[in-house]
Amino acid sequence: SSSGLWSALPCELAVATLLSAGFAAACRATAACREWRESSAAQGVRDRIYEAVTGASIHGCGAAELGEVLVSTQLLLAGVKSSKSWFLETGLQTASAAKPIPLTAECIALFLDDCTLFAVLRSGDLRCHRADTGQLLDSVGKKGKHRDTTCALFFNKRAFLLGDQVGGLTLTSRDDLTERQQMRKEASAAVDALSQLDETQVVALHADGCMDIL
C-alpha cells in the first residue's frame, strides 16, 4: 500500500519528498486515506507547512487546524500584491480572490477537512468541494419527503449528522455521501442546534426548549 511504502522511508526523507511537489499536493497526498493521515510522515508535512505559513514551530499540528490556517491566510492576503514574492519563496501559490461557488439552496453549514470543504444546504443536499480551487468533487441530494435541514454536526470527523424542521436526524458518511441512515424520524420540534459531548454522545437542542442526549 502507499502508506506502507512511505512508512518504509526515513521520516525526514518522506517529508522532503512530499513537500517537493508543493504544499497543496503534499496535503492532498496525506489525506488519501485515514491510515496514512495518522503516519509520522504526514504529521511532519503538516508541521513543516504550518511553520512556513505562520513562522511558529509547533509539533503535532492537526489536519483541521492546518486547513483553517491555510484558508484564513488566503482570505487575509487575497489581492495583496506585496505578498507574491513571500508566497513563492515558501512554496505557496499567490492568493487571489476565489470565484464564487454556485449553490442550489441556502448553505447552513461549512466543514473543512484537510483540503476538502463540505457544504450542507437547507434542502438537505451535501456538496463536497476542493478547498483550494472550489472544484465540485461530489454532490448528493436528500431523498424522500422534503424537510428543511436546520443544523449540522461533523461527528468524529467521520460523518455528518443533520437535524431538520420536524426534529428528524440523519447520519451521512463522510467518505461516501450516498451512505445515509435515518437516526430519528421526528421529535417534539425542529432541531435548532447539535453539539458533540464525546466520541459517542450528541446533544440536540430543539426549538421548543427541549434537549436530548443521543
Cβ pair 17, 10 in contact under 8 A: no
pLDDT digits (tens, 9 = 90+) for 85-118: 444 444 544 444 455 666 667 888 888 887 788 8
Residue 213's pLDDT band (boundaries 50, 70, 90)?
confident
Of the two residues 134 and 176, the one the predictor is more confident about is 176
Give this prediction's pTM: 0.54
pLDDT digits (tens, 9 = 90+) for 146-163: 789 999 999 988 999 999
pLDDT digits (tens, 9 = 90+) for 3-58: 555 566 677 777 777 777 777 777 777 766 666 667 777 778 878 877 777 666 66
Q: Which residues of 2-28 are buried (b: 16+ CB within 10 A; e: fewer)?
A: ebeebbeeeeeebbeebbeeebbebbb
Residue 51 CB neighbour total at 10 angstroms: 15
pLDDT digits (tens, 9 = 90+) for 58-81: 677 777 777 676 666 665 555 444
Q: For position 86, what pLDDT does the model report?
A: 42
Q: What is the distance, to the nearest Å, from the Cα of residue 75 to the centroid of all Cα atoms in its chain? A: 17
Q: For position 74, what pLDDT does the model report?
A: 61
